Amino acid sequence: MPLIPSLLDRTRIILCDTTHTGNMGAAARAMKTMGLSNLRFVTPQTSPDEQAIARATGAKDVLMAAPLDNSLSEAIDSCQLVLGTSNRPRSVRWPTITPAEAAELILANDHYQQVAFLFGKEQYGLTNEQMDRCQYLVQIPANEEFSSLNLASAVQIISYQLRISWLTASKLPQLVTNEPARPADMPASDDEFEGMFNHLIQALGDIEFVNLDNPGRVLRRIRAMLQRAELSKNETAITRGICNAASEKTPRMEKLS
């Protein structure tokens, strides 16, 4: 048994909107060579076929065990840390880290934290809506003059870095604490964050801080700010309590006006 729980077992590789089945199989192979097995597909163009199986080689088990999720929410519902991989510039800035920094971040956090790496469609990568669900943007430091990576190659690089960082950390002496984190202080899952954020949107509309029919970029910027904070379960509950209080006061304010 390793000295620390394996980050490989608690990391999901999620391919979104994949169009070429060969990439699905090649990604499964890339993962298995590095000891990862938790692969998921979100709304792929087609299910894995014979080409995918052929490209998977000895990783058919990883490929065929991968769920085909109908939404990104379904794929990351219980994850506390979601990282998007992309080299495309964005209008909203996310904290940007390298694969090595991503691995160190995972190792530094709670050893039972569920983690997801998102990979987008081959042609243009992750959409802005998919990046909205991420706390960090992971960029592979490729050649600036030619930074385009094949999907499976990108999965291979991330998987390799996770394995190397985990093997290195496993050889180091581990600090033992007598005060484990309380459940309420654990990072909020994606499902908990989304529930809180939807509640916040409703409250911002109630107090007329945001025009929900035409919010512009303000909601995306608020989301990015909260994602960077990496809220705990307790902090999402506090935020929802504030939303309740704000919404409850709105009718009374209207009566007084």
Does 178 fall in a domain? no
Give 104's Cβ-side CA count (13 Å radius). 5
What pLDDT does 72 receive?
97
CA distance linking residue 3 with residue 21, whole number of Å: 37
Two tokens at 207? 């107090």
d(C-alpha 40, C-alpha 159), whole Å: 14
Same domain? For 51 and 101 the reply is: yes
Does a structural domain hold residue 5?
no
This prediction has a pTM of: 0.80
Q: How far apart are CA 198 and CA 206, in angstroms?
A: 12
Long-range Cβ contacts of 178-182 (<8 Å, 24+ apart)? 181/110
pLDDT of residue 186: 79
Q: Same structural domain for residues 54 and 155?
A: yes
174 token code pair: 């581990």
Asked if residue 113 belongs to a domain, the reply is yes
CATH label of the domain that carries residue 66: 3.40.1280.10
- Sequence-distant (6+) residues with CB within 8 A of 123 are 19
Task: Tell whether 102 and 214 lie within a shared domain.
Answer: no
Same domain, 123 and 231: no
Domain C-terminal end among 147, 170, 193: 170
CA 14 to chain centre: 9
Amino acid type, 1: M
Tens-of-pLDDT digits for all 257 residues of the chain? Answer: 444 558 899 999 999 999 999 999 999 999 999 999 999 999 999 999 999 999 999 999 999 999 999 999 999 998 999 999 988 766 677 889 999 999 999 998 877 889 999 999 998 899 999 999 999 999 999 888 888 899 999 999 999 999 999 999 887 655 444 455 677 777 788 888 889 888 998 888 888 888 888 887 888 888 888 888 888 888 888 888 888 888 887 654 443 33
Q: How many domains does the chain have?
A: 2
DSSP symbol at 174: P
Angle between helices 233-256 and 190-206 (to 10 degrees): 10
If asked whether residues 243 and 137 sit together in one domain, one would say no
Does residue 195 lie within any of the structural domains? yes
CATH number (domain holding residue 208)? 1.10.8.590
Q: How far apart are CA 221 and CA 232, in angstroms?
A: 20
Same domain, 131 and 43: yes
Residue 209 domain-assigned? yes
Residues 64, 165 within the same domain = yes
- Token pair for 60: 């058919």
What pLDDT is stored for residue 75 in this prediction?
96
Domain of residue 190: give its range: 183-256
Biggest distance spanned by C-alpha atoms of the chain:
71
Whether 95 is covered by a domain: the verdict is yes
